[in-house]
Chain A
Amino acid sequence: MIAILDYGSGNLRSAERAFATTGQEVVLTSDPAIAIEADGLVVPGVGAFSSCMNGINAINGVSIVQERLQKERPVLGICIGMQIMFSQGTENSQGQPFKGIGIWNGVVDRLNAPILPHMGWNTVEADPNSVLLKGIEEESFYFVHSFAAKFSVGEKQSWSFYGERFLAVVEDGYVCSTQFHPEKSGTAGLKLIRNWVDSL
């Protein structure tokens, strides 16, 4: 069973249906017990880094993610759901960055590009050992974001470029994340979701 963490408003229906294409049972939930027990937990992204963390904190989401990782249960962060896996984010912050879940150290910062958000289909430079991107290394994926991690973390990194180089996918033991939206990236995105589910 796949749980999608429901901690605010936004389009969760697409994620629910996209993960359901794997044949797995998919539930939207904010119940810690269900989120911790699921075979896989998806942390989607809603709004800005700060509003996202407010939503996560309201349902005790930090301890849900931490407990899963202690129990060696997979977690997949998508878009802002990837960004909040880092220790800090500067979006909408006046000076002092906001605190993230902190699985990875580092500050998620604004992309250096004249036109933001980075919106649309872009390709990635896949890590040769990437499990998530296996068979779809040359495909395009749908990005919508203005902030990103521009430094290396975790075991495997796949990169993209918009104004500057940034992390598109991180695979690090039981926690993986994508800066793009696999649930909005057509057949390539569904293949990535299938790759993740097959790895559970």
Chain B
Amino acid sequence: MTLSVRIIPCLDVTDGRVVKGVNFTNLVDAGDPVEMASLYDVEGADELTFLDISASSSGRETTLDIVRKTAEQVFIPLTVGGGIRSVSDVDKLLRAGADKVSINTSGIARPDLIAEIADRFGSQVLVLSVDARRARTESGFEVTTHGGRESSGIDALRWVEKACELGVGEILLNSMDADGTRAGYDIGMIAAVRSVAKVPLIASGGAGALSDFAAALDAGADALLAASVFHFGTHRIGDVKAYLAKHNYSVRNVVAT
């Protein structure tokens, strides 16, 4: 009995549509998040993440509707992030059918929000998303905001420690340096955050080659999140799982592709 590593595809959603939609031939509508979620489920995804990048409140309402429809047909854990600023926002998403929410900027702006959400719903619903990059802070890693464009002036390791104390249930670590490069995860950053995080760690940013996934696990990640390598069909989820299984990592549901 061994806990499997988790492979988590992330869908960027705006106004009810998937951004960076894919060319899977078996999709009727590549932009439909519910259909893509179902496809990833069938392919062996261990969880799903929707990142709501809608700019408007009507876009957010649409996202609630997508969460409802997804929860009606996909029976694996669903995390939703983007634009969550209050306990009431979390309540709406959970009632719609999300299992977890991820917060980022709003947690930096008001750290007490972390404790408020954890107290009300339990730590297990709360993922802290950390957009970090290498910088001359105490640990050598800093937290950024606005998609990596702005420095928050906060040291990434101290922030993770504090958030664990406040009650987050999981850390999603996004390397802003590695993001989009497909040159591999930031292994040093994963190892550094692993050394201070007492909760599960999801690594994100930089996945390219299949061996990159294994390297991130070796550095201490418990789960791996990726967007573009799956959306653009560079790798299928089954390919990643088959590779990891072959190299003796514990994975669930290896579906041949």
Stretch at the interface among B2-10, B16-24, B139-147: B2-10
Interface membership of chain B positions 160-189, coded 1 if the CB is closer than 8 angstroms to chain A and 0 otherwise? 000000000110000000000000000000
A104 to B125, CA, bound (A): 27
CB distance from B71 to the nearest CB of A (A): 5
Partner of A9, one of B3, B94, B124: B94
Closest Cβ neighbor of A114 among chain B residues: B198
Contacts of A190 in B (CB 8 A): 75
Interface membership of chain B positions 74-103, coded 1 if the CB is closer than 8 angstroms to chain A and 0 otherwise? 011100000000000001001111110000
**Using a CB-CB cutoff of 8 Å, which residues 91-129 of chain B contact chain A?**
91, 94-99, 120-125
A116 to B71, CA, bound (A): 26
CB distance from B213 to the nearest CB of A (A): 15
8 closest residue pairs by CB, A with B: A13-B97, A161-B1, A47-B122, A140-B252, A121-B252, A121-B4, A144-B124, A11-B94
CB distance from B119 to the nearest CB of A (A): 8
A117 within 8 A of B: yes
- On whether the beta carbons of B122 and A9 are closer than 8 Å, the reply is no
Q: Can you pick out 16 interface pairs between chain A and chain B where the beta carbons lie within 8 Å of each other? A: A10-B95, A10-B125, A13-B72, A13-B97, A114-B198, A115-B200, A117-B170, A119-B124, A120-B5, A121-B4, A125-B1, A144-B124, A181-B77, A184-B77, A186-B41, A186-B253
- On whether the beta carbons of A122 and B75 are closer than 8 Å, the reply is no
Closest Cβ neighbor of B123 among chain A residues: A117
- On whether the beta carbons of B75 and A117 are closer than 8 Å, the reply is no
Known: A11-B99, A121-B4, A122-B1. A184 touches B94 (CB 8 A): no
A185 within 8 A of B: yes
A122 to B46, CA, bound (A): 11
A13 to B123, CA, bound (A): 20
Known: A120-B46, A185-B75. A140 touches B97 (CB 8 A): no
- On whether the beta carbons of B76 and A10 are closer than 8 Å, the reply is no
Contacts of A146 in B (CB 8 A): 123
- On whether the beta carbons of B124 and A122 are closer than 8 Å, the reply is no
Interface residues on B, range: 35 or more
Known: A117-B200, A119-B124, A120-B3. A14 touches B75 (CB 8 A): yes
- On whether the beta carbons of B169 and A119 are closer than 8 Å, the reply is yes
Interface of chain A: mostly helix, strand, loop or mixed: mixed
A residues contacting B by CB (< 8 A) are: 9-14, 17-18, 46-48, 51, 114-125, 140, 142-146, 159-162, 181, 183-187, 189-190
A46 to B95, CA, bound (A): 12
Instruction: Other than A117-B200, A146-B123, give 7 A-B pairs with Cβ distance below 8 A.
Output: A11-B71, A12-B95, A115-B197, A115-B199, A119-B200, A144-B124, A186-B75
Known: A118-B3, A120-B222, A186-B75. A10 touches B94 (CB 8 A): yes
Contacts of A51 in B (CB 8 A): 122
Interface membership of chain B positions 33-45, coded 1 if the CB is closer than 8 angstroms to chain A and 0 otherwise? 0000000010000
CB distance from A150 to the nearest CB of B (A): 14
B223 within 8 A of A: yes
B68 within 8 A of A: yes
A187 to B75, CA, bound (A): 8
